[in-house]
Amino acid sequence: MSGMTKMVPFFVGVYVLFAAFWPQRVLFFSAAQRRNTTGGMLYTWTLAAIVLTIAISINTAFVDEITRLLDENIPLMRVVLVRKLGWTLSAAAFGCAYAAVFCSFVAALILRVRA
């Protein structure tokens, strides 16, 4: 046995110990594994941004459309939508979620470019 084949279990052991005691670190054994993981992260955060954008658009457009339809179809009264604290908190939560998704997307993009 050559000296290099004796060292392989040692390197694997060091990698496993390093991964065990630093759980946030992702352990890669090949470049393809690293590219697949970072590509998956980028895809996940892109999908999250799209879903959040669609959700707030549907929420806002749906409520506005129902209000407009009710106002047009009920001739005896006027329907007015007053956005209160719940809608404001919902919009604030969306803004915070979108900021987090954006930051995570940028981090995943940087990892993808650097990988």
Would 19 be classed as within a structural domain?
no
Provide the whole-model pTM: 0.61
Structure letter (DSSP) for residue 26: P
Domain extent, residue 107, equals 30-114
Residue 105 inside a domain? The answer is yes
DSSP 27: P
The pLDDT, as a whole number, for residue 70 is: 84
What tokens does 87 get?
């809608």
**Per-residue pLDDT tens for 11-23?**
666 666 665 565 5
Report yes or no on 65 lying in a domain: yes
Residue 96 lies in a domain: yes
The answer to whether residue 37 is domain-embedded is yes
Domain-embedded: residue 79: yes
Q: Is residue 87 part of a domain?
A: yes
| Joined tokens for residue 27 | 């352990």
Does the residue 25 lie in any domain? no
Residues with Cβ within 8 Å of 86's Cβ and at least 6 positions away in sequence, in order, are none
- Confidence band of 27 (pLDDT split at 50, 70, 90): low
- Closest C-alpha among 63, 65, 50 to residue 90: 63
